[in-house]
Amino acid sequence: MRTQKMVPAITLDPSYFKQKTNNTVDHHHQHENIVIEEIKGLIKVYKDGHVERPQIVPCVTAAVADPELGVTSMDIVIDRFTNVSSRFYVPKRHGMNSMKKLPLLVYFHGGGFCAGSTAWSCYHEFLAKLAAKAGCVIMSVNYRLAPEHPLPAAYEDGLRALVWLKQQAFCERGGEENNQWWSTQCDFSRIFLVGDSAGANIAHNVITRLLCSGTILLPLIIKGVILVQPFFGGEARTSSEKYYYMVQPRHSVLNLAASDTYWRLALPAGSNRDHPWCNPLANGSCFGSDSVAMMVCISELDILKDRELEFCAAMARAGKNVETVVYRGVGHAFQVLDKSMLAQTRCHEMIAHIKAFVENN
């Protein structure tokens, strides 16, 4: 039985906080049930399975966008049975470039598998900017969350999104009617799987499943994978995890206690952090083919830094070509949750690195 864990609050930039006027709580329910897991401000899980997620980050509609970016955005349901949807971003183009089809980034948001949404304002703003600056169409997948849907649900949703995308590509080839406002802009032979934090873990596990199973997704061709601060774990603590054990990392939204809680909620019952979905270096892990390029983006002040560097080193030992970028002076999820001048500078650098990686692959 899980014991109650009171995890220190995760610190977000003040501009992302809002009054939780819409988050009403049944007080009778609150007093009658025991909280067995909690990350303050993000998720509270009761013994009877009831889950509360305060709206700590505002949600926005697809229509909300910076007009200067010139990006069109729309939500599309891709699986009515599971209610999985995607938010698409298509940048406006001018002149001769308007005829050239664009790479497609399939993006998975972060949140420890338990929180987050494609509608979170921070992701909406970041992905609209990424689409405009990097010149890519983006498909942001709103996958199912744990603990209601523990892993591998998120991985299955990622694979399902690619199968749906394959169907759209066939429709486009055959001239059949589909969501042409975005599909006519896409070069389906240049697909990149991208994600941050838990989303990066999803991207890694989705490409691993595809490569190790030999699954064919033609006419889709996956050219690369971009892992931004990938959320990995393990029973043995790394140096960066030990260093930040008692202290919230400066300019970082993830602490060790919250990380452990996310894994307890997301992994199958009875699993520990050496489960291969959590620890990609565990025995039996498959890295698949080296035909897919990879870039890993790491934050210097992230508790996950050492684990991510170990992952990159293991990939290199396995003969994989991995581009590693370390962003100095910033922490976990800085590109979406830190409004400081330094974080904004590093965010522009990250977008430039993603753009270059896509153009070179």
Task: Answer whether 292's CB lies under 8 Å from 320's CB.
Answer: no
Catalytic residue among 197, 240, 252, 259: 197
Dihedral sign from CA coordinates of 28, 30, 36, 42: positive
Q: What is the DSSP letter of 15?
A: G
Our answer to whether residue 197 is catalytic in this structure is: yes
Query: 107, 325, 86, 88: which is closest to 200 by C-alpha?
Result: 107
Our answer to whether residue 204 is catalytic in this structure is: no
Complete DSSP assignment for 250-309 = TT-S--HHHHHHHHHHHSPTT--TTSTTT-TTSTT-----SSSEEEEEEETT-TTHHHHH
Complete DSSP assignment for 133-202 = HHT-EEEEEE---TTTS-TTHHHHHHHHHHHHHHHHHHHHHHT--S-HHHHTTEEEEEEEEEEETHHHHH
Half-sphere exposure at residue 338, Cβ-oriented, CA atoms within 13 angstroms: 25
CA separation for the pair 196, 159 (Å, rounded):
17
Our answer to whether residue 94 is catalytic in this structure is: no
Catalytic residue among 124, 204, 275, 332: 332
Strands 71-79 and 51-52: unpaired
Residue appearing with tokens 């030999």 = 214
Task: Answer whether 132's CB lies under 8 Å from 69's CB.
Answer: yes
Strand partners, 45: 37, 51
Buried b or exposed e, range 156-174, using 16+ CB within 10 angstroms: bbbbbbbebbbebbeebee
| The two three-digit tokens of residue 85, written as one number | 């949807």
* Residue 345, helix vs strand vs coil: helix
CA separation for the pair 306, 273 (Å, rounded):
16
Catalytic residue among 140, 240, 251, 302: 302
The residues that are catalytic are 197, 302, 332
